[in-house]
Amino acid sequence: MKSVLFDLDGTLADTSVDMCNALNTILKNRGLKTVDCQNLKYHISRGAIGIIKYASEINGRSIDSSMMRSEFLEEYSKNCFIETRLVEGMDELLKSLEDKGCKWGIVTNKHFKYVNKIVSGLKISERMSCLVTANMVNDPKPAPDSLIHAMCLLDEVPKNVIYVGDDERDILAGKAAGVETVAADFGFIENTSEINGWNADNIIMKPSELKAMI
C-alpha cells in the first residue's frame, strides 16, 4: 500500500482564476494591461516572481517586481478561495485512496497562510494525512526537503510513496527524495511535449489514471 503526495496548484486544485483575478486587480489599480487567465496558468508554477514577470511581458515593460509582488500577495491573501476548486476527477481519486486505506497529503511551494485557507475551503483539511508548505522547510522544491518532511509526518519510507506534480521541479524533488514520481499532464503545463523530458516514472492524463498504480 502506498501513500500519495500531491502538489497543490494545477495538480490537486485549479487555483488559477483566483490568482489571475488578484493580479488583474493590482494591474487595473496601476493603470496597466490585464492578463489572460488561461495564459497565466502556465506561469503559476514559478510563483509570484514568475507571475509578475509575465505581467511585465504583457505590458511590454519592466514592472517594479518587489512592490507589485507585495501588492499581489496581499490581494491574493484576501481572495485566495473564491473560484478555486479541486481538479476535475480529483475528489473521486481521493475517495478511492481513502477507501483503500491509503494516506495522502499535499507538498507545495505555496505559503501556509494561503494553503490553509484553500484546504479549509475545499473541506479536505480533516481528510489529508499531512501538509507541507514552502515556509516549513529550509529549501523548497526542487530540493527534496519538503518531501522528506512529509514522509516523516506520514512515518513512511520512500519506496512506498508516490508524488504527483505538474512541474519539472516536482519530479526533480521526488527523484531526489527517492519516491515514485508521477507527472500530471492535466496541470498547468503549456507545452505537454516537454513533460517527456522530465523523466518521471509515470505520466497521467487525468486523476483517475492514478488508481491503477495503487
Give the catalytic positions in this structure. Answer: 7, 9
Q: What length is written for the chain? A: 214
CA atoms 73, 107, 104, 182: torsion sign: positive
SS3 (DSSP) at 188? coil
SS3 (DSSP) at 132? strand
Contacts of 158 (CB under 8 A, 6+ apart): 151, 177, 178, 179
How many Å apart are CA 72 and CA 210, to the nearest integer? 34
Contacts of 53 (CB under 8 A, 6+ apart): 43, 46, 65
Task: For 27-86, give the secondary structure using H, E and C.
Answer: HHHCCCCCCCHHHHHHHHHHHHHHHHHHHHHHHCCCCCHHHHHHHHHHHHHHCCCCCCEE
